[in-house]
Amino acid sequence: MTVAVIRFGGSNCDRDAVAALEHLGVDAEIVWHEDGLPEETDGVVVPGGFSYGDYLRAGAMAARAPMMAEVRDAAEAGVPVLGVCNGAQIGAESGLVPGAFTTNRSARFQCEHVHLRVETADTPFTRAFDEGEVLSLPIAHGEGRFEITDDALADLESDDRVLFRYCDADGNVTNAANPNGSKGNVAGVLGERGTVAVLMPHPERATLPDVSGPNGAGTDGAGVLAAFDQ
């Protein structure tokens, strides 16, 4: 499997994503957005960063680049697509998933470790886990507050398309454990196909053992990226 990690101007987690995927034995390459998707693309990662300087809204410009039309087509053809952080913002702006990621409740950039509860294990991105399992992943964003209408959130929940919720270390989904004010504590959602997912936390920063350790990020991200290991 070859995973295309899309680089826009301002992407900055592209090399981390490739390193993490290669650590898991997955072929991955950085693809400049103007070059289009390679023919042999078996997976797509839209990585984090500050594409187009976050002009207008985070992800707004990249979402309308021709590359994202190709990514949408690939997603509809069943190719697994994962958007992380700025990639999640781009995914929401481009319609890969519903909702929007906007300014944190704190109005600040937040870089910290969070706990996430696995809401469904029936996806490629969470099959390494059990439903209800608590993961630890880092976040690093200023615009990660998930916003969506009440009706659309209810639809997502009834379709089992909420992937992760922010929670405390014991798995309780509380307001105090919500780092950015996301509606329903939602940290990650699925597209119309279960092979399309976006999340604000960074699995690629919690995959390599080198950055693990007592004060490190752990390796829970490996289970998310294992979606591409097939």
Binding residues for other proteins, rule: CB under 8 A, are 56-57, 60, 64, 92-93, 98-100, 102-107, 145, 147-149, 181
How is residue 169 written in tokens?
A: 């270390």
202 as an active site residue: the answer is: yes
Contact call for residues 113 and 217 (beta carbons, < 8 A) = yes
Q: Which is nearer to other proteins, 43 or 91 (CB)?
A: 91
Cα-Cα end-to-end distance for the chain: 7
Given the structure tokens 């906007």, which residue do they identify? 102
Active site residue 204: yes
Chain centroid, CA 126 distance in Å = 12
Quote the CA–CA distance of 10 and 187 in Å, as a whole number: 23
Contact indicator for 4, 45 with CB cutoff of 8 Å:
yes
**Residue closer to other proteins, measured from CB, 56 or 154:** 56
User: Which whole-number Å values give the CA distances from 203 to 70, 149, 171, 186, in the listed order?
Assistant: 24, 27, 18, 16
CA-CA-CA-CA dihedral for 107, 98, 49, 184, to nearest 10: 40
Least distance CB 178 / other proteins (angstroms) = 12
Is 85 designated active site? Answer: yes
Backbone angles phi, psi at 99, to 5 degrees: 90, -175
- Per annotation, catalytic residue among 13, 85, 93, 119: 85
Closest CA to 123 of 6, 226, 20, 17: 226
Find the farthest-apart pair of alpha carbons in the chain and give their distance in angstroms, rounded: 45
- Pair of tokens at residue 118: 């696995």
| CB 59 to other proteins: min, Å | 10
CB of 105 or CB of 113, closer to other proteins: 105
Catalytic positions: 85, 202, 204
